[in-house]
Amino acid sequence: ARQSSGVRVEVLGTKGHIKLTAPGHMFYSGVLVDGILFDVGHPSFLDRGPKAIFLTHLHADHAFFTEQQAGPLPAPAYAPQPWAEHPEIKVLRESKNVDGVTVTAVPTVHNPHYRSCGYIVDDGISRMMYTGDLITIKRRYRDRIPDLDLVITDGAFIRRGGLVRRDENGRSHGHNGIPDLVRMFSPFTRHIVFTHFGRWFFKDVDDAVRRIGALSEGAKVEAAHDGMVIEL
């Protein structure tokens, strides 16, 4: 086991792209890791004064400015693809060092019309991964995933298989199910936290939290809430 590095992870928002809310689940996606912001589902996240911004993909619940007018992002910003209205966003293909923390992009499968990636965050002692919306990580990229202290990933669907469709070219789009993502990530980590919840979660939040926790076996599995803090 690694010694504690004091890395602070704060989950800022836990809703998928839906209008439903509940106490502790008011905002779209965003996670702050030692002052580095991953996804900007709400403009207020920028008030935290991030050192850098990394976007998993350019859907509005992860990048609010794709549907709202906004000035230039207030920190160096990176994404899997450019966005014409925000030329300050640079395409990150591999790794970037931010104040001694290495952020590495790992391509993911979510939507054929929007490139997407997850990010490995490594301070030299602890390592975590954050993904946005997710069907899978192709096997050829999984060798980029080291032993992880934490994974934060997509909780859009609790049912096995999630909701995955194919377009006219046979390309997949959608979200995998939480049980499937637990199975995929368990070989890489002992702690998985789910966020970006869909409608199923808001029907009975307490029950949804219990159902997610019940998937703990090889790894501890839990539901995030807005303002959740994890110390690594």
Chain segment 185-214, per-residue pLDDT in tens: 999 999 999 999 999 999 999 999 999 999
CA 56 to chain CA centroid, Å, is 7
* Span 16-57, pLDDT tens digits: 999 999 999 999 999 999 999 999 999 999 999 999 999 999
Q: Who's near 161: CB < 8 A, 6+ residues apart?
A: 176, 177, 180
In the chain, what's the furthest Cα-to-Cα distance? 50
CA distance 83 to 87: 6
CA distance 95 to 197: 28
Strands 89-91 and 77-79: parallel
pTM comes to 0.94
CB neighbourhood size of 162 (10 A)? 20
Beta bridge partners of 107: 117
pLDDT of amino acid 5: 55
pLDDT of amino acid 4: 47
53 neighbors 64 (Cβ within 8 angstroms): no
**CA 34 vs CA 39, 115, 121: distances in Å:** 14, 26, 10
Using DSSP's 3-state secondary structure scheme, residue 230 falls into strand
